[in-house]
Amino acid sequence: MPSLYAVTVPMFVRGLKNLDHLLAKAIDCGVDEASLVEARLIADMLPLTRQVQIACDTAKFAAIRVGQSAPLAMPDEEKTLSELRARITKTIGYLEAVDPAGFEGREDAEVILKLPGTELTFTGASYVTDFALPNFFFHLTVAYSLLRMKGVGIGKMDYLAGGSHPA
């Protein structure tokens, strides 16, 4: 079985690079930026800004909670696509500096996720497979969907390969 590091950090870095590519295309597309950053699929869902912030946080917190990496403060203050891209770049840099050894032997380590009004308890492995990876890809997919909905010219290969392969 691959290590927890191997199934998290490289996947997060790849997904964030693809998300950065999507936002770069959004900047260049001519669609009103304010309508993009505030876009929601439905009124009770979070806007694009929060989708990007949560994707970054999910990746970062997996490295902290499972990989025992040092915490990194990242306040949720981004209001533009360029600021969101800077957050992605900062998160990628953080993940690329993570020591894979911090993940070793953490499959059964207790991970407690504190949410408003509740706590969820996982093992390191179940946190990765049952929460971190699904949550990360949920927010990436919603961000992609919001950009598509607003008319940004992106497609499946932009999501999957960050534009590095022809569609």
User: Residues near 90 by Cβ (< 8 Å), separated by ≥ 6?
Assistant: 56, 72, 74
Buried b (16+ CB within 10 A) or exposed e, 37-72: bebeeeeeeebbbbbbbbbbbbbbbbbbbbbbbeeb
105-128 per-position pLDDT tens digit: 999 999 999 999 999 999 999 999
122-149 per-position pLDDT tens digit: 999 999 999 999 999 999 999 999 999 9
Q: Which helix (H) or strand (E) holds 110?
A: strand 110-115
Q: Which CATH architecture has domain 4-161?
A: Up-down Bundle (1.20)
Q: Residue ranges per domain, the chain?
A: 4-161
Assessment of whether the complete model's pTM goes beyond 0.75: yes
The token pair at 3 is 């290590």
Computed over its alpha carbons, how large is the radius of gyration of the chain? 16
